[in-house]
């Protein structure tokens, strides 16, 4: 039973972390979009400055996306590690149970 509780805790922890990662990404995306719009609304902005703002915005979006995917991958690896450990504990408990029944 403790195994199921640990699995549930790990799954809920992963879901919470995924939500945090998604919120961070959305916030970063929103801030970059706001900054980009403010820059574009600057009176007298040259075409070169507009292009520079677009490039900066694109780079920020790419960086935010890369960071989000990296964090999601790390979270998944941690979850898989926990599930592997739980599977080993479950197998060990089953083996001990079978050994006790055999005696």
User: Measured at the alpha carbon of residue 80, what is the angle toward residues 78 and 22, in degrees to the nearest 5?
Assistant: 55
- pTM check: above 0.85: no
Single out the residue of 62, 68, 56 nearest to residue 25, CA to CA: 68
Q: Is residue 2 very low, low, confident or very high in pLDDT (cuts 50, 70, 90)?
A: low
Residues 28-75 pLDDT 10s: 999 999 999 999 999 999 999 999 999 999 999 999 999 999 999 999
């Amino acid at each position: 039973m403790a195994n199921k509780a640990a699995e549930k805790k790990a799954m809920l922890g992963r879901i919470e972390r995924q939500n945090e990662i998604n919120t961070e990404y959305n916030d970063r995306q929103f801030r970059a979009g706001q900054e980009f719009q403010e820059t574009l609304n600057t009176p007298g902005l040259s075409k070169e400055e507009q292009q520079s703002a677009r490039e900066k915005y694109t780079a920020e979006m790419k960086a935010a996306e890369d960071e989000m995917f990296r964090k999601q991958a790390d979270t998944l690896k941690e979850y898989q590690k926990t599930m592997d450990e739980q599977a080993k504990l479950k197998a060990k408990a089953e083996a001990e149970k079978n050994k006790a029944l055999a005696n």
